[in-house]
Amino acid sequence: MQTKVIKINPINPEKSKIKIAARIIQRGETVAFPTETVYGLGADALNDKAVKKIFKAKGRPIDNPLIIHIADKKEVYTLAKKVPKEAEILIENFWPGPLTIIFKKSQIIPKITTAGLDTIAIRMPANKIALSLIKEAKMPIAAPSANLSGKPSPTCAQHVIDDLYGKINILINGGETDIGIESSVIDLTAKVPTLLRPGRVTIEELRKVLKEVLVYKTPNKAKLKKITPKSPGTKYNHYAPNAHVILVKGNFQKTVKKKIIKLISMYNTMGKKVGVMTVHKNNNYDSDLVNYIGSKNTIIAKNLFKTFRYFDKNNIDIILAEGIKEKNFGFAIMNRLEKASSKIIK
């Protein structure tokens, strides 16, 4: 398959170019496009043949449901069977934006889109290209992150090219995404609203507008083999680069720095190429590659997946990552770091 790359202005999307991409969606084909979180791989959410193409291109397990993207808040009333009061509050406060809400689904959604579940994940993205594409296509667009299954989510067009070139019809290049990690996912079909995946909309922010919000704890690996977790995506190894990621948690000056220095020399002695992801500027580790990914959460999130991919391009065997505080947006960043890690040192 030929993948056509179309460059579109993210501030003022050219209508004629959006139209080309929208026609492709209407024809039941696939289009990768930027959102404010990461790039998504989109297709007509109501067309099962089209949705199948997403699973095929990504190599995504068919029991992992997709998020449906809309451009008009009113659409939830046709896609969801019931819109609870809590949803209206969340929509009012956070849409358009990086928050996905799980509802009971209506009849019009094909089984494949929700992987056979009776629930549906919906979000209205805050990105002009995404919104104009959905509006122009005149239909809800199902879109998982536009990476090969298991790889880190793409935050720029090049990442999509690296993973999916030749497997999708169109890639809209709209520059780098603002946030850099995927949306927060909250389940409103549970007794108490439950955060399944943390993201830019934080648990602290959610608790300001809803009475009670629980945080879903991913069951451990042994248990996962036996059950279907709440958010099916959580059972798969996610966001992981080819290199082994080792996350080092704790107080930076007291322990983390010393532990990382030790690990560098240990792995170097074993003949491994070691990269370090640091959140401390001018912190020189003596390893093969050191990448300062920022000290503010918003910058760290923007650089995280990009840095994983950068280390892979440089054939790094071991990535040593400094942990950060798990408060506010830091909680979501640590969630992605932990998921990518093959080892966590405390």
Tell me which residues touch ligand TXA (CB under 6 A): 35, 37-38, 40, 64-67, 100, 102, 114, 117, 119-121, 125, 143-145, 182-183, 185, 196-197, 231-233
Spatial separation of the C-alpha atoms in residues 265 and 287, rounded to whole Å:
8
What is the smallest separation between the CB atom of 187 and Mg ion, expressed in angstroms? 17
Told to check if 231 binds Mg ion by CB under 5 A, we report no
Q: Parallel, antiparallel, or unpaired for β 318-322 and 274-278?
A: parallel
| DSSP code at position 105 | B
**3-state SS assignment for residue 160:** helix
| DSSP code at position 333 | H
The partner in contact with residue 186, picked from ligand TXA, Mg ion, none with C-beta cut-offs of 5 to 8 angstroms by kind, is none
Q: Using CB atoms, what's the residue nearest to ligand TXA?
A: 233
Q: Which is nearer to ligand TXA, 130 or 248 (CB)?
A: 130
Spatial separation of the C-alpha atoms in residues 279 and 294, rounded to whole Å:
5
114 in Cβ contact with 65 (< 8 Å): yes
Spatial separation of the C-alpha atoms in residues 310 and 330, rounded to whole Å:
22
What is the smallest separation between the CB atom of 156 and ligand TXA, expressed in angstroms? 13
Of residues 113, 145, 183, 307, which one binds Mg ion by CB under 5 A? 145
Strand 341-345: give its sheet, edge to edge.
289-292, 274-278, 318-322, 244-248, 341-345
The partner in contact with residue 114, picked from Mg ion, ligand TXA, none with C-beta cut-offs of 5 to 8 angstroms by kind, is ligand TXA
3-state SS track over 226-283: CCCCCCHHHHCCCCCCCCEEEEECCCHHHHHHHHHHHHHHHHHHCCCCEEEEECCCCC
Q: Which is nearer to ligand TXA, 113 or 287 (CB)?
A: 113
Q: Which is nearer to Mg ion, 145 or 234 (CB)?
A: 145
Spatial separation of the C-alpha atoms in residues 128 and 135, rounded to whole Å:
10
Q: Measuring CA to CA, how many Å separate 88 from each of 39, 69, 79, 174, 261? A: 26, 17, 14, 30, 50
The partner in contact with residue 37, picked from ligand TXA, Mg ion, none with C-beta cut-offs of 5 to 8 angstroms by kind, is ligand TXA
The partner in contact with residue 35, picked from ligand TXA, Mg ion, none with C-beta cut-offs of 5 to 8 angstroms by kind, is ligand TXA
What is the smallest separation between the CB atom of 151 and Mg ion, expressed in angstroms? 9
Spatial separation of the C-alpha atoms in residues 125 and 121, rounded to whole Å:
13
Q: Which is nearer to ligand TXA, 201 or 245 (CB)?
A: 201
What is the smallest separation between the CB atom of 16 and ligand TXA, expressed in angstroms? 24
The partner in contact with residue 143, picked from ligand TXA, Mg ion, none with C-beta cut-offs of 5 to 8 angstroms by kind, is ligand TXA
| DSSP code at position 152 | P
Q: Which is nearer to Mg ion, 145 or 194 (CB)?
A: 145
Hey, what are 71's tokens? Answer: 């451009």
User: Residue with structure tokens 């996962």?
Assistant: 224
Q: Which is nearer to ligand TXA, 177 or 291 (CB)?
A: 177
Q: Which is nearer to ligand TXA, 77 or 258 (CB)?
A: 77
What is the smallest separation between the CB atom of 117 and ligand TXA, expressed in angstroms? 5
* Interface residue list for Mg ion (CB under 5 A): 145
